[in-house]
Amino acid sequence: MLKKQQEFARRRQQFLRMIGVGNIAVFASASISMRNSDVEFPFRQNSDFFYLSGFDEPESVIVFVPGRKQGEYILFCREFDEKTALWVGANAGLDGAIKDYAVDDAFPIDDIDDILPGLLENKNCLYFPMGAQPNFDQKLMDWSQQVRSRSRAGVSAPAEFISSDHLLHEMRLIKSAYEIKQMKKAAKISVAAHIKAMQSCRVGMYEYQVEANLKHHFMNEGAQQEAYPAIVGGGNNGCVLHYIDNNAVLKDGDLLLIDAGCEWEKYASDITRTFPVNGVFSDEQKALYQLVLDAQYAAIEQVQPGHHWNDPHDAAVKVLTQGLVALGLLKGQVSTLIKNEAYKPYYMHRTGHWLGMDVHDVGDYKLDNQWRLLEPGMVLTVEPGLYIQPDAKEVDEKWRGIGIRIEDDVLVTKKGHEVLTEATPKEVVDIERLMRAANGT
């Protein structure tokens, strides 16, 4: 069996054990979204569904029935169709599903209404991703109701509906060696794309031309989808947290904030770098940039097994607040300013999120109402920033319109952490040196 298939088989075994004999779990694939008329958006499989199956087709449903004699892992999918094969390429079909995806039993998706209620009979708990796909939730209710209506024939419908999120997302939160390998590959491609963006940036380019260079590198390396739409914001646009218009001209003297990452084998990378369009930081830009960088180092230092989720955020907030006082943007006592969240007009988001198959990946941040402890195998981003809005009248004019974020992807290891994206330059001298060399100056 291929390494990749072994990985999926291992996940299924673990999941089957967790749900236990007498219960059942059902997951539907993602659906195709129409862009307009008969043109589709590129298909992206649902992450839970792919995590357990590796199956990349729409119109599919997987079912887990621990202890079922004829097989515990069932797939409903589209039958092989010659016309589809001719127009868009071959789909697996039932034989392919059994041969290439190690399913025990495969059925045509068109037969699901006839078959699935039978699988629900006499099961205790039904696990499914409650609320994630409301139309599919409704189908599960209808199928369960069909079983319930036959109770006088001696069959029972699942008495408990349980969200699969907790079991499955705890699994997804702790990355296996295979997953870390994919995330390192995603990181490597994105690191190189950011370096190319810095090297190719020139005054007078449009933001979308920088975006094109990033995407060219992703695609050229085989990463055909981005993990999220790239943010490429020059000057004031760097102060817009989720700016994606990316259509302005890059001006001399402005900073450029790029938040972009590719997806590799369904695993995300998520990097932000901020650098001067002309290759040289002004004094004000440098002062704020160094402050964000110091906050990021302090936050990354807190990524250790046994530390809690909020430690990196607390560390970043402390450094940022101290620095804002030192630079004169905030006035008062640091501890009081932190308590009153005085930094929030300039730092309004959190310092990171889980990273994995989804850019904002699954997994609880609190357990029993307490920030959870970091454990080896978790991957998170560390991404402090400062955004001095163009109309921030309360601060000296020289600071206004400066938006900075620095973001890396960090793996929690047994001994501490590993920064998966650290090869992306972020020291002032390194960025200026790289850009000087690229500009030939």
Q: Which residues contact 373 (CB under 8 A, 6 or more apart)?
A: 305, 306, 307, 308, 309
For residue 26, the partner it binds in ligand GLY, Mn ion, none, with Cβ less than 5 to 8 A by kind, is: none
Q: Return d(Cα 193, Cα 197) in angstroms, integer.
A: 6
Burial of 127 (0-12, 13-18, 19+ CB in 10 A): buried
Pick the binder of Mn ion from 7, 57, 270, 361 (CB under 5 A).
Answer: 270
Closest C-alpha to 275, from 253, 245, 301, 297: 253
List the beta bridge partners of residue 40.
34
Helix (H) or strand (E) holding 190: helix 177-200
Report in angstroms how near the CB of residue 244 gets to ligand GLY at its nearest.
Answer: 10
Which residues make Cβ contacts (< 8 Å) with residue 46, sequence separation at least 6? 27, 28, 29, 30, 132, 133
Which residue sits closest to ligand GLY, CB atoms considered? 259
Under the criterion CB under 6 A, does residue 383 sit at the interface with ligand GLY?
yes
Burial class (CB in 10 A: 0-12, 13-18, 19+), 108: middle
How large is the angle between the packed helices 428-439 and 283-301, nearest 10 degrees?
Answer: 130
Nearer to Mn ion, 23 or 381 (CB): 381
403 SS3 class: strand
Is 242 part of the annotated catalytic residue set?
yes
Which residue in the set 191, 291, 359, 379 belongs to the binding site for ligand GLY (CB under 6 A)? 359
**10 Å Cβ neighbour count for 128?**
22
Question: Which one of Mn ion, ligand GLY, none interacts with residue 105, CB within 5 to 8 A by kind?
Answer: none
CA dist., res. 361 & res. 292, Å (int): 24
User: 17, 35, 360, 433: which one is catalytic?
Assistant: 360
Question: Which residues share a beta bridge with 385?
Answer: 405
Catalytic residue among 270, 311, 358, 409: 270
Catalytic site includes residue 407: yes
Q: Does 259 bind Mn ion (CB under 5 A)?
A: yes
Give 243 or 289: the residue with its C-beta nearer to Mn ion. Answer: 243
> Active-site residue 383, yes or no?
yes
147 or 232: CB nearest ligand GLY? 232
Least Cα distance to 213 among 185, 237, 232, 228 occurs for 232
CB of 305 to Mn ion, least distance (A): 21
Q: Which of residues 383-412 bind Mn ion (CB under 5 A)?
A: 407
Q: Determine the Cα–Cα distance for residues 199 and 180; give it in Å rounded to an integer.
A: 28
In 383-433 the beta strands, taken as DSSP E runs, fall at 385-388, 402-405, 408-412, 417-419
Q: Has 217 been annotated as catalytic? A: no
Q: In 3D, which of 387, 41, 355 has the Cα closest to residue 242?
A: 387
Nearest distance, CB of residue 358 and ligand GLY, angstroms: 11
**Catalytic residue, candidates 48, 72, 358, 407:** 407
Name the catalytic one among 11, 313, 405, 417.
405
Look up tokens 């006592």; give the residue.
333
Annotated catalytic residue 307: no
Annotation marks residue 360 as catalytic: yes
The residues in 189-228 that bind ligand GLY, with binding defined as CB under 6 A, are: 228
Nearer to ligand GLY, 105 or 361 (CB): 361
Write down the catalytic residue from 263, 358, 383, 408.
383
Q: Does 7 bind ligand GLY (CB under 6 A)?
A: no
Which residue, 353 or 400, is less far from Mn ion as judged by CB? 353
**Which residue in 105, 259, 311, 408 binds ligand GLY (CB under 6 A)?**
259
Which of 269, 262, 419, 421 has its CA nearest to residue 355?
A: 269
Shortest distance (Å) from residue 353 CB to ligand GLY? 6
Q: Residue 405 catalytic?
A: yes
Among 226, 270, 311, 409, binds ligand GLY (CB under 6 A): 270
By beta-carbon proximity to Mn ion, the closer residue of 381 and 421 is: 381
Question: Does residue 404 interact with ligand GLY by CB under 6 A?
Answer: no
- Residue 430 a catalytic site member: no
Residue with tokens 């809005």: 389
Could you give the C-alpha distances from 379 to 210, 214, 305, 425, in angstroms and in order? Answer: 28, 23, 12, 20
Minimum CB distance to ligand GLY, residue 360 (Å): 6
State yes or no: is 391 an active-site residue: no
- At 26 the three-state DSSP class reads strand
Compare residues 55 and 228 and give the one whose CB is closer to ligand GLY: 228
* Interatomic CA distance for residues 117 and 63, integer angstroms: 12
Catalytic residue among 44, 353, 372, 400: 353
Would residue 294 show up in a list of annotated catalytic residues for this protein? no
Binding residues for Mn ion (CB under 5 A): 259, 270, 272, 381, 407
- Residues annotated as catalytic are 38, 242, 259, 270, 349, 353, 360, 383, 387, 405, 407
Binding residues for ligand GLY (CB under 6 A): 228, 259, 270, 353, 359, 383, 407
